[in-house]
Amino acid sequence: KQEVTQIPAALSVPEGENLVLNCSFTDSAIYNLQWFRQDPGKGLTSLLLIQSSQREQTSGRLNASLDKSSGRSTLYIAASQPGDSATYLCAVGETSGSRLTFGEGTQLTVNP
Amino acid sequence: DTAVSQTPKYLVTQMGNDKSIKCEQNLGHDTMYWYKQDSKKFLKIMFSYNNKELIINETVPNRFSPKSPDKAHLNLHINSLELGDSAVYFCASSLLDEQYFGPGTRLTVT
């Protein structure tokens, strides 16, 4: 049974800092990995999707890496802004169009 | 131009009642899902449909019954609501791999 862990559970940083969020999964036989952002009381916004054959994906100030063999992914946020404050969720997919198994999230606060 | 929409956004009801949550996607996706987010914010899959056919049915009470009248809609009906059903329910859809989520329905059972 796949288990996904995110560390740290909460993170508070000053504006402008670069930061890394960590995600680990127990079963390396994944199909893809998706990073989401969830604002309080809101739904999930997809940030990046990495296929199992890829090593990283980039979107603006976000960079997600995947090391499938070691069961790890990181989300790098450059030059953090107060608007980045949210909960960041990592989720792994087993096959195409299958369920996502989620981590418990990292709650990020960026202080102005 | 909403991609995945859910109604209602909030639902407050008493124990023992039956309620439904509706989900619609206008993305042309083939697969739709229901997830439950509990009080600790943990998200877990409940059901998945592909082209109106059930493909994932996690271990949820059979009081929960999904229905997909067409591939753009996936509704969730819950019978005999219990206190433990209080949570946020998210609908999602995907064409291939990337899943898109709706805004969620916060269900409170009193």
Q: Flag if B99 and A46 touch (Cβ within 8 Å).
A: yes
Chains A and B: how many Cβ contacts under 8 Å? Answer: 60
pLDDT tens-digit series, residues A35-49: 999 998 888 999 999
Q: Flag if A99 and B56 touch (Cβ within 8 Å).
A: yes
Q: Flag if B96 and A99 touch (Cβ within 8 Å).
A: no
User: Cα–Cα distances in Å, from A42 out to A7, A52, A55, A85, A111?
Assistant: 22, 28, 30, 13, 21
Kindly give, in sequence order, each residue whose CB lies less than 8 Å from that of residue B59, ignoring residues fewer than 6 positions away: none
Q: Dihedral sign for Cα A44, A102, B81, B58, please.
A: positive
CA A80 – CA A84 distance, rounded (Å): 7
Contacts of B91 in chain A (CB under 8 A): none
| Residue B97 banded pLDDT, cuts 50, 70, 90 | confident
Angle made by CA atoms B44, B48, B51, in degrees to the nearest 5: 160
**Looking at residue B83, what DSSP letter applies?**
G
Residue A20 confidence (pLDDT): 96
Would you state the structure tokens that stand for residue B62, as one six-digit string?
A: 């059979």
DSSP strand pairing (B87-94 vs B105-109): antiparallel
3-class secondary-structure state, position A112? coil
Q: Would an 8 Å CB–CB cutoff place B7 in contact with chain A?
A: no
Calculate Rg over the CA atoms of chain A.
13
Residue B29 confidence (pLDDT): 92
Peptide bond into A112 cis (omega under 30): no
CA-closest candidate to residue B97, choices A90, A63, A37, A93: A93
| Residue B1 banded pLDDT, cuts 50, 70, 90 | low
Residue B41 confidence (pLDDT): 82
Would you state the structure tokens that stand for residue B40, as one six-digit string?
A: 């600790």
| Residue B40 banded pLDDT, cuts 50, 70, 90 | confident
Contacts of A45 in chain B (CB under 8 A): 101
At residue A52, what is the residue type? S
Mean pLDDT of chain B: 92
Would you state the structure tokens that stand for residue B30, as one six-digit string?
A: 């083939």
| Residue B57 banded pLDDT, cuts 50, 70, 90 | confident
Report CA A80 to chain centroid distance, whole Å.
15
pLDDT tens-digit series, residues B72-85: 999 999 999 999 99
Residue B39 confidence (pLDDT): 84
Q: Flag if A43 and B42 touch (Cβ within 8 Å).
A: no
Residue B2 confidence (pLDDT): 67
Q: At CB < 8 Å, which residues of chain A contact B? A: 31-32, 34, 36, 42-46, 49, 51, 87, 89, 91, 93, 96-102, 104-105
Residue A41 confidence (pLDDT): 84
pLDDT tens-digit series, residues A58-93: 999 999 999 999 999 999 999 999 999 999 999 999
CA B82 – CA A94 distance, rounded (Å): 31
User: Is there a contact between A49 and B100 (Cβ–Cβ < 8 Å)?
Assistant: no
Q: Would an 8 Å CB–CB cutoff place B45 in contact with chain A?
A: yes
